[in-house]
Amino acid sequence: MSQGILFIISAPSGTGKSSLIQGLLKTQCLYNIQVSISHTTRIMRPGESHGKHYYFISKKEFRVMIQQESFLEYAKVFNNYYGTSRKFIEKMLLSGIDVFLDIDWQGANQIRYKIPNTKSIFLLPPSKDILYKRLRERGQDSDTVISKRMEKAVDEMNHYSEYDYLIINDNFEKSINDLKTIIIAEHLCLLHQKKKHNILISQLLNS
């Protein structure tokens, strides 16, 4: 069994990243895909549930997990912590399942350092106006928080060039197809195919 591929997907809040990932999971794809469930210290929002969207834990519990080196990466965002479980990722990849990590550029840097063959995707909104509109339409934050999110969005978007792939999320279905294309391309790349078919290749080349 070939090992799964780890994909990082990053984008400013309001770009539609979560919706795209869920849309991808609902479509027919040639490969098994799983979204990593992060640990966080933030308060659970309406419609969210523990173990499905996040593992909601206290800051004390989070600090203990840091000391135990349980995270592949973690970051502090808007006074809350988010972290990716090392055990979860390793288990999925060894099972041949592709894993999507929804993390920011800081977490992406940590992951790349520990797992160099990770593939990364950055999503950009069609415009700042549309990004602002999406944040307001969510109805979750005050004007002050939205302004802070817009400032943070500009900072995050400055890191797009650090990624392997770039998608402009101006059409939902097209963006999902773009994600599927990236997954297929990575599975067909020479490095992955050599590992997957090493016995066959040896037999074919053996004189």
- Annotated binding-site residues for ATP read 11-18
Sheet holding 80-85, edge to edge: 55-56, 39-40, 80-85, 71-77
Per-residue burial over 146-176, b = 16 or more CB atoms within 10 Å of its CB, e = otherwise: beebbeebeebbeeeeebebebebeeeeebb
Give the span between the Cα atoms of 1 and 45, in whole angstroms: 39
Binding-site residues sit at 11-18
The length of the chain in residues reads: 207
Give the span between the Cα atoms of 108 and 196, in whole angstroms: 26
Q: Dmax over Cα atoms in the chain, in whole Å?
A: 71
